[in-house]
């Protein structure tokens, strides 16, 4: 599998995206849990999740209409991108 530098560049251009993707690489979580774990505001986490979702790097694991208890997980594409970011030491 080739490295997708466009997607990697997109992720690493935001510290928040890097932090959130890295946290989800450890396991699924709600935005509130992620925010607590990585010491970011929930609004920053939510924005990062939205942009990572737009690139299919993370996914919502519960029904879309659910408003509370929304659990997110990393996709297989997200795992590949995270491995590349980690292996090449691109995370700040």
For residue 9, what is the enclosing H or E element? helix 5-12
* C-alpha distance from residue 53 to each of 26, 40, 65 (Å): 17, 18, 16
pLDDT in tens, 56-79: 999 999 999 998 999 999 999 999
Distance in angstroms (rounded) separating the CA atoms of residues 36 and 38: 6
pLDDT value for 92: 66
pLDDT value for 2: 67
pLDDT value for 4: 87
* DSSP β-bridge partners for residue 60: 72
**Helix crossing, 15-24 with 76-87: angle to 10°?**
120
pLDDT value for 90: 87
Residues in the chain, pLDDT under 70: 1-2, 92
């Amino acid at each position: 599998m080739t490295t997708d530098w466009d997607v990697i560049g997109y992720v690493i251009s935001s510290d928040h995206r890097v932090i959130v993707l890295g946290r989800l690489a450890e396991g699924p979580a709600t935005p509130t849990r992620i925010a607590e774990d990585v010491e970011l505001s929930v609004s920053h986490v939510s924005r990062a999740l939205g942009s990572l979702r737009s690139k299919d790097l993370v996914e919502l694991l519960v029904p879309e209409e659910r408003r509370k208890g929304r659990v997110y997980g990393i996709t297989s594409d997200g795992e590949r991108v995270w491995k590349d970011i980690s292996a090449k030491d691109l995370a700040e």
